[in-house]
Amino acid sequence: MANSCNFNSTAGYLEGMTRGFKNGLLKQSDYLSLTQCETLDDLALNIQNTDYGHVLASEQGASVEIFESRLRERIVEQYNYLRVNATEPMSTFLDYIRYEHMIDNVAMLISGLNNHRPMKKLLSLCHPLGYFDQLEAIGVASNTDELFDAILIDTPLSKFISKSFGHRDFKRIDVEIVRSILFKSYIEDFYKLCKRQDPTTAEVMCNLLSFQADRRAITISLNSLHSEFNHDDRLLLLPTCGHLGPIALDTLSQSVDYDQVRAVSSKNFEYAVVFDSIERDTDNLITLEDRFLMLEAKKLMQSYLQQFHLGVFYSYLKLKELECRNIIWIAECISQRQLDKINAYIPIPMF
């Protein structure tokens, strides 16, 4: 009772508002209407009947890029409202949700700089939740050393950089490895933060973050099967806060084929179901990543079954991002006239 009273005094209003936001997520009937659209203009018109309202009403011509931009803006508006009104420890918790997008933005900028692409154009492609002050100065970076100093040393991401990870490594290592190194430190630090919160937040968030860590470990193991990574290099990239224990991670880092990765992952019943579902999919429209997203959506919705915890904010923003992904998928299928694939979006269970 004391925990619930303390939580309500600091975050009760915002939690109630976020639970109300969740009721605005698209239902199956909404997706059915969207998938029956034949043009992007029809899609924009149908979206007006959902919680998005007239988000595209001011646009003269609908395009996939406009859809993505406007949908992201809606997420950022809701996030900013929560963050402005938050107090500790919720404010720090919300900051950690942004760090994942910051890592993605930094990885994209590194790749762009290494490939001599215009920085100003890349900045326009960055996820708005991952913006931070130092990104404004990225246009003056002329090499990876300046990028390392401008972005990773004097920003919130600096805490996720190992002391042994320097300028030379930053330039030499593939950008996806940089992303993996940052993400491993990030999710392990986020896990520790959640463990220090109230018992309900710790239970809900540690379960969600453990799933994220396991999915990351499985994906990295599969993607590095035919690479030149040795056992130690691969093991350094695998997050250690998941349900898969040290022995499983060590075995994953030594796996040489898909069957070995599947055998180790399937020790967990939920992951076994994911791999079994892939084998039964004869149409090959749903990938392993999609199956993990379906499982994630289920877990995120289940977090709403408990009260008085910070996990609802994490779950809502993740669900909203998944919903935007679904809408963009539908828009892409309409734009490219691939209507036979339009129903291959990720269903979000509503309960």
Alpha helices for the chain (secondary structure H)? 2-22, 28-35, 40-47, 64-85, 90-114, 119-125, 144-147, 167-172, 175-195, 199-223, 231-235, 246-254, 258-265, 269-280, 288-302, 311-335
Q: What is the pLDDT of residues 195-248, one digit of tens each?
A: 999 999 999 999 999 999 999 999 999 999 888 888 888 998 999 999 999 999
Provide CB contacts within 8 A for 306, sequence distance 6+.
200, 203, 204
Confirm if 213 and 187 have CB atoms less than 8 A apart: yes
Per the model's pLDDT, the better-predicted residue between 107 and 313 turns out to be: 313
Cis peptide before 118 (omega within 30 of 0): no
CB atoms within 10 A of CB 345: 22
Residue 348's pLDDT band (boundaries 50, 70, 90)? very high
Confirm if 9 and 303 have CB atoms less than 8 A apart: no
pLDDT for 76 equals: 94
- What is the residue-averaged pLDDT of the chain? 88
Q: What is the average per-residue pLDDT within 182-205? A: 95
- Most confident region among 54-58, 80-84, 142-146, 152-156 by mean pLDDT: 80-84
Alpha-carbon gap, residue 196 to 203, rounded angstroms: 11
Domain boundaries, the chain: 12-86+327-351, 87-326
Q: What is the pLDDT of residues 290-311, one digit of tens each?
A: 999 999 999 999 999 999 999 9
N residues, the chain: 351
Say whether pLDDT at 325 is over 90: yes
Cis peptide before 89 (omega within 30 of 0): yes
